[in-house]
């Protein structure tokens, strides 16, 4: 009984502060109404005006140079991550920060390794400043193979990516290897930290859903590329809820029949609709949209929880989703896509 009191009250004190911050940050998230008005607006400047004139004071754009919206959105994302970092005082929150921010480390590593092998200079705009490791240090490690300033775990994965690339000489291999290594690193970290059972359930489920969807989409990509079963075995991430043996088992059957094999899983509709769309339009756009919506809808539980990591996970997912939606709408406006075409690409909203 006393143990229960201590654990419960201590955790709440830790959560209360971060959750309070997140609740007030949630006010800046985009709702469906704003998204619809932006989609229906005549051009990129009107869309930006709708965003700037709404109650959301998070975004600031240079209306004289509307095509520079990416820069403003990246700044906003960086600002969000700075806030999350500043309120992540507890070990679980630090881990949470790593889980989300490491995505940008891996993005940077992918770009730097590709630029090294493809011998192409890249502009700094392609690299994200959000990651947990400084870009310069990563650059030094990848270009000059000087690993003194980066953690050992990153040194190991960069060397592994080099050797895998040298084996296959295929740039897409870099993506496959690094996608897998990211989750391996997250699971190694999760074993290092002490988290209470209720947190662990949600956190693990969230990561597992990401892994499952990553595995399924990577398999569909590999299938479309005509890869052999042996190839996917190497790069499937084993920690997901949906066992990789089952994916390997269905790999050789035609894509259209995959949804029948996934009938008892949560992912049946995603695969069915996504594959149908691919067969009609030769694009994985719908599959990626359904994946993002599935993860966002799972994170929505954070809206109803007062104390815990759920509101933080929900908020980060929602903010990234908002920024993705704004980019889709503004790029659509810039490329003169019709409102219907833009609407087809836009993800659900968290609010």
Interaction between residue 11 and other proteins (CB under 8 A): no
Exposed / middle / buried, residue 219 (Cβ in 10 Å: 0-12, 13-18, 19+):
buried
Toward other proteins, which CB reaches closer, 26 or 70? Answer: 26
Toward other proteins, which CB reaches closer, 8 or 245? Answer: 8
Q: Closest approach of Cβ 233 to other proteins, in Å? A: 46
The only residue of 7, 17, 201, 243 in contact with other proteins, by rule CB under 8 A: 17
The only residue of 12, 52, 188, 283 in contact with other proteins, by rule CB under 8 A: 12
Cα(151)–Cα(55) distance, integer angstroms: 42
What is the DSSP secondary structure assignment for residue 179, as one 8-state letter? Answer: H
Toward other proteins, which CB reaches closer, 94 or 331? Answer: 94
Q: Which stretch binds other proteins (CB under 8 A): 17-25, 157-165, 242-250, 263-271?
A: 17-25
Neighbouring CB atoms inside 10 A of 93's CB total: 18
List b or e across 164-179, with b for residues whose CB sees 16 or more CB atoms inside 10 angstroms.
bbeeeeeeebbbbbbb
Residue 316 near residue 80, CB atoms below 8 Å: yes
Q: Which stretch binds other proteins (CB under 8 A): 9-17, 196-204, 225-233, 288-296?
A: 9-17
Q: Closest approach of Cβ 83 to other proteins, in Å? A: 8
Toward other proteins, which CB reaches closer, 261 or 303? Answer: 303
Q: Closest approach of Cβ 167 to other proteins, in Å? A: 49
The only residue of 256, 269, 279, 306 in contact with other proteins, by rule CB under 8 A: 306
Phi first, then psi: what are they for 230, rounded to 5°? -60, -30
Question: Among all chains, which residue has been given the structure tokens 């000059």?
Answer: 144
The only residue of 2, 6, 24, 144 in contact with other proteins, by rule CB under 8 A: 24
Interaction between residue 27 and other proteins (CB under 8 A): yes
Q: Closest approach of Cβ 74 to other proteins, in Å? A: 21
Which residues fall within 8 angstroms of residue 206, CB to CB, at 6 or more apart?
A: 295, 298, 299, 313
Toward other proteins, which CB reaches closer, 267 or 350? Answer: 350
Interaction between residue 271 and other proteins (CB under 8 A): no
Toward other proteins, which CB reaches closer, 3 or 120? Answer: 3
Between the alpha carbon of residue 100 and those of residues 30, 186, 267, 273, the distances in Å are 20, 10, 23, 28
The only residue of 22, 34, 101, 174 in contact with other proteins, by rule CB under 8 A: 22
Toward other proteins, which CB reaches closer, 18 or 141? Answer: 18
Q: Which stretch binds other proteins (CB under 8 A): 6-14, 72-80, 93-101, 171-179?
A: 6-14
* Cα atoms found within 13 Å of the Cα of residue 17, Cβ hemisphere only: 12
- Phi/psi class of residue 226: alpha, beta or left (left: φ > 0; alpha: ψ in -120 to 50)? left
List b or e across 59-76, with b for residues whose CB sees 16 or more CB atoms inside 10 angstroms.
bebeeeebeebeebbbeb
Q: Closest approach of Cβ 242 to other proteins, in Å? A: 34
> From residue 55 to residue 94, what is the string marking binding to other proteins with x (rule CB under 8 A)?
--------------------------------x-------
Interaction between residue 307 and other proteins (CB under 8 A): yes
Tally helices (H) and strands (E) across the chain.
Answer: 16, 0
Interaction between residue 32 and other proteins (CB under 8 A): no
Neighbouring CB atoms inside 10 A of 52's CB total: 13
Between the alpha carbon of residue 304 and those of residues 84, 280, 332, the distances in Å are 19, 39, 33
Here the tokens at position 170 are 């295929």
The only residue of 2, 4, 6, 26 in contact with other proteins, by rule CB under 8 A: 26
The only residue of 19, 210, 299, 349 in contact with other proteins, by rule CB under 8 A: 19
> Using CB under 8 A as the criterion, which residues of the chain lie in contact with other proteins when the complex forms?
9, 12-13, 16-27, 87, 306-307
């Amino acid at each position: 009984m006393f143990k229960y009191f201590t654990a419960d009250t201590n955790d709440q004190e830790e959560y209360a502060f971060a959750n309070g911050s997140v609740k007030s940050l949630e006010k800046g998230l985009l709702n469906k109404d704003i998204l619809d008005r932006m989609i229906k607006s005549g051009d990129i400047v009107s869309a930006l005006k709708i965003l700037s004139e709404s109650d959301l004071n998070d975004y600031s754009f240079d209306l004289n140079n509307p095509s520079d919206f990416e820069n403003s959105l990246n700044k906003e994302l960086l600002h969000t991550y700075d806030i999350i970092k500043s309120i992540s005082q507890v070990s679980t929150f630090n881990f949470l920060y790593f889980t989300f921010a490491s995505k940008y480390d891996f993005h940077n590593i992918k770009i730097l390794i590709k630029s090294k092998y493809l011998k192409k200079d890249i502009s700094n705009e392609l690299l994200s400043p959000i990651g947990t490791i400084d870009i310069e240090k990563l650059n030094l490690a990848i270009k000059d193979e000087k690993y003194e300033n980066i953690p050992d775990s990153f040194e190991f994965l960069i060397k592994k990516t080099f050797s895998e690339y040298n084996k296959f000489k295929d740039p897409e291999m870099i993506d496959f290897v690094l996608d897998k290594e990211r989750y391996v690193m997250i699971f190694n970290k999760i074993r290092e930290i002490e988290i209470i059972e209720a947190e662990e359930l949600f956190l693990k489920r969230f990561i597992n859903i990401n892994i499952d969807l990553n595995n399924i989409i990577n398999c569909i990509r590999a299938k479309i590329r005509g890869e052999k079963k042996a190839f996917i075995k190497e790069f499937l991430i084993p920690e997901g809820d949906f066992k990789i043996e089952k994916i390997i088992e269905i790999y050789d059957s035609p894509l259209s029949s995959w949804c029948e094999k996934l009938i008892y899983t949560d992912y049946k509709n995603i695969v069915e609709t996504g594959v149908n769309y691919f067969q009609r339009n030769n694009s994985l756009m719908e599959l990626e949209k359904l994946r993002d919506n599935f993860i966002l809808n799972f994170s929505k539980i954070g809206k109803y929880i007062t104390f815990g990591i759920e509101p933080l996970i929900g908020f980060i997912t929602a903010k990234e989703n908002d920024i993705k939606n704004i980019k889709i709408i503004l790029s659509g406006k810039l490329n003169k896509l019709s409102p219907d075409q833009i609407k087809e690409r836009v993800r659900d909203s968290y609010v």
